[in-house]
Amino acid sequence: MKQMVHYALVLLILGGTAGVGLYGVNNLTSERIAEAMKRNLTEGQKQLFPAAASFDGPLSFPLSSDSGTYYKVLGADNTVIGYELDGAVQGYQSKVRVLTGVTTNGVITGIKVLEQAETPGLGAEVQAVPSTRTLWSALAGLFSEAEKESAAALLPPFQTQFAGKDLGGLAVVKQKDPAKIEAISGATITSEAVTRAVREPLEAFLAWNGK
Amino acid sequence: MTTQLKELTKGLWEQNPIFVIALGLCPTLAVTTSVRNAIGMGVSTIFVLVLSNVLISAVRTIVPDKIRIPCYIVIIAFLVTVVDLVLAAYFPDISKAIGLFIKLIVVNCIILGRAEAFAAKNNPWRSMLDGIGMGIGFLIALLMVSGIREVLGANKLFGYVVFPGWRPIGVMVLAPGAFLTLGLLLGWKRLSELKH
Amino acid sequence: MTITTLLLVLLSAVFVNNFVFAKFLGTCPYLGCSKDTSSATGMGLAVIFVMTMTSAVCWAVYHFFLYPSTANVLYLVFGSAQAAAADSAYIKTHFDLTFLSTLSFILVIAALVQFVEMVIQKVSPALYSALGIYLPLITTNCAVLAVAILNIDGMMLHGTQLGYGHSGSLLFALMNGFGGGVGFTVALLLMSGIRERLDLGDVPRPLRGMPIAFITAGLLAISFMGFLGLVK
């Protein structure tokens, strides 16, 4: 009995110390974590509507018996110039979260994949920017800043396909078709997932907003 | 001095945790899709391994023998959560890509294995050396597997194209490629030993 | 939540997202316990049992103690409803203990394994002699901890987001845990059958043992890729 109390005491002290320690670490890091997540979102918001003056949100709309999240995009004179929808679906091996910009007429201005942890080289290519730079040129010109900047300014071609389309164009095909979304070869499931993360909230939102 | 040096270097190759003892296979297979992820995982594991070895070795006389495993697990889980939070705060990209496997360092057999086999019997200084050696050995193994998989499977290294115009073998970055690469690497290590 | 949805979750956990072949979880016991079919069966059954239990208990711990919501026990005991009504962020800022999930989950698993071991020993000595030696190993089986963590992520996506509420997310977690365990057992049994035959084959010397087991697992994983796209 005495031994049991001893054991329990040791475990309790150890667990308590660990808990308090983690509380401290959590307090130190939580602000930065929230900040990093917010920065990712605000960068995306600006990218989809460069002309926007401010964003109103997060607001919610009904989405398949639950609710989805959207933002109102406000122009310089505080008129609504569009909306941004925040949608997530299950991809090949991770949650795929996409921000979709849409004008008041229902035309997509662009999308940005906010979160994904798909297979590098396949699914993760939805976020890849084409680069002619090889390992060798990178090793040779490691410090060429201008080149680095030009690469950073490019948008992932898979995501730029969405710009200018409306609900009807959101279907994944395997051949080149400018009216539809061309899948990344070898990563059909991720391509489908991104498209669904755009289409499903958009469909529900337009039906709800049209009323 | 020589024995201390040995504690440090034995983990690098002779007793490499992956290739020889075959511990900690899950992260080796899962995060080696790219060299970047492998480095993130390797460094996180080294951090946890070294500190857990030191802490466990420091409390080894206080902790009753019967409940030592739960006590070790609490210490390890504490360290892992610290790494997890720090990565999420300062390296959000890596954290998103391998977040689950960072949490799973708790049950990485290397950590608990070294705690039981080494730290519970040796002083903190030696335990630290052992942790550093084993950790670097783990990182080396991760780098080898991820280098092969990223080049063959995605034709890239650190995200840069390696052979312009060559179409990569996609299956190498998927699950089967991981098993095949590790199997062949183990066989290769065995072959070099058999020749001696 | 309809039966079909649940069956799909189960099917996808067993085949499409097989813990060993698609997610690389539980690889150590997978290779360690697949040398013969009888130990593979024992390990498999023990894992199914513990994974299902873990899913349920960790779900409860997360929902009622760690996650900041009106169902949080700590909030119900120490919180003030007035403050929550006045400030919508009140619960989130004061009762968010999700950073303790990893620590509490692994403790739950360790305690659960110990508990299951004691119960089986008392209730059925025959079952204990069959499963006994595998139970302690399960604490460090990363598939068990992973299923608890994945359930949290999954709940946000499958349970509550689809509008099934709390009971739906619990059912989802149970199905995922049970299916994950079954998938692990399927992988283990397949592998042990192959390895029993491999022992009789003429394998090149450097590849004997672990290396050939890995290569076999790789080929099995290729065949499991055929299930991709079966469940959306």
The residue type at A41: L
Distance from CA of A138 to the nearest CA of C (A): 33
DSSP per position, C180-216: HHHHHHHHHHHHHHHHHHHTTS---GGGTTHHHHHHH
Give the model's pLDDT for residue A152. Answer: 54
Six-digit token pair at A98? 């996409």
Give the model's pLDDT for residue C230. Answer: 67
Contacts of B5 (CB under 8 A, 6+ apart): none
Q: Can you tell me the mean pLDDT for B88-99?
A: 84
Residue B18 · residue B183 · CB < 8 Å: no
Q: Can you tell me the mean pLDDT for C181-206?
A: 90
Domain total of chain B:
1
* A63: three-class secondary structure by DSSP: strand
Q: Tell me the C-alpha distance between A152 and A131, whole Å.
A: 10
Asked if the C-beta of C100 comes within 8 angstroms of chain B's C-beta atoms, the answer is yes
Of C24, C31, C211, the CB nearest to B175: C24
Of A30, A65, A90, the CB nearest to C157: A90
- Domain borders along chain A are 49-210
In-domain check, residue C192: yes
Reported ipTM:
0.84
Give the model's pLDDT for residue A151. Answer: 53
Asked if the C-beta of C85 comes within 8 angstroms of chain A's C-beta atoms, the answer is no
Closest CA to A88 of A117, A130, A110, A59: A117
Which domain does B182 fall in, by range?
2-195
pLDDT in tens, B41-93: 999 999 999 999 999 999 988 888 888 888 898 999 999 999 999 998 888 88
Q: Tell me the C-alpha distance between A96 and A199, whole Å.
A: 13
Calculate what percentage of chain A has a pLDDT beyond 90.
2
Residue A96 has pLDDT above 70, yes or no: yes
Residue A55 has pLDDT above 80, yes or no: yes
The residue type at A8: A
Asked if the C-beta of C148 comes within 8 angstroms of chain B's C-beta atoms, the answer is no
Residue B97 has pLDDT above 50, yes or no: yes
Give the model's pLDDT for residue A142. Answer: 61
* B161: three-class secondary structure by DSSP: strand
Which chains, if any, share at least 3 CB pairs under 8 A with chain A?
B, C
More confident residue, B22 or B113: B113
Asked if the C-beta of B24 comes within 8 angstroms of chain C's C-beta atoms, the answer is yes
Widest pairwise Cα distance in chain B = 62
Give the model's pLDDT for residue B155. Answer: 82
Give the model's pLDDT for residue A65. Answer: 62
The secondary structure of residue A56, as a DSSP letter, is E
Domain total of chain C:
1
The residue type at B121: K
The secondary structure of residue A134, as a DSSP letter, is B
**Which segment of B44-58, C76-90, C151-165 scores lowest on mean pLDDT?**
C151-165
Interface of B with A (CB under 8 A): 33-34, 37, 62-64, 66-67, 70-71, 74-75, 77-78, 81-82, 85-86, 88-90, 92, 96-99, 150, 153-158, 160-164, 168, 170, 173-174
Residue A143 has pLDDT above 60, yes or no: no
Q: Tell me the C-alpha distance between C148 and C151, whole Å.
A: 5
Instruction: Determine whether the interchain pair A14/B75 forms a contact, defined as Cβ–Cβ distance below 8 Å.
Output: yes
Give the model's pLDDT for residue B1. Answer: 56
**Which segment of A134-148, B82-96, B159-173, C59-73 scores lowest on mean pLDDT?**
A134-148
Which domain does C108 fall in, by range?
23-68+94-227
| Mutation choice for A interface testing from C16, C19, C99 by most A CBs within 10 A | C99
In-domain check, residue C9: no
pLDDT in tens, B167-190: 888 788 888 899 999 999 989 888
In-domain check, residue C148: yes
Q: Can you tell me the mean pLDDT for C77-90?
A: 77
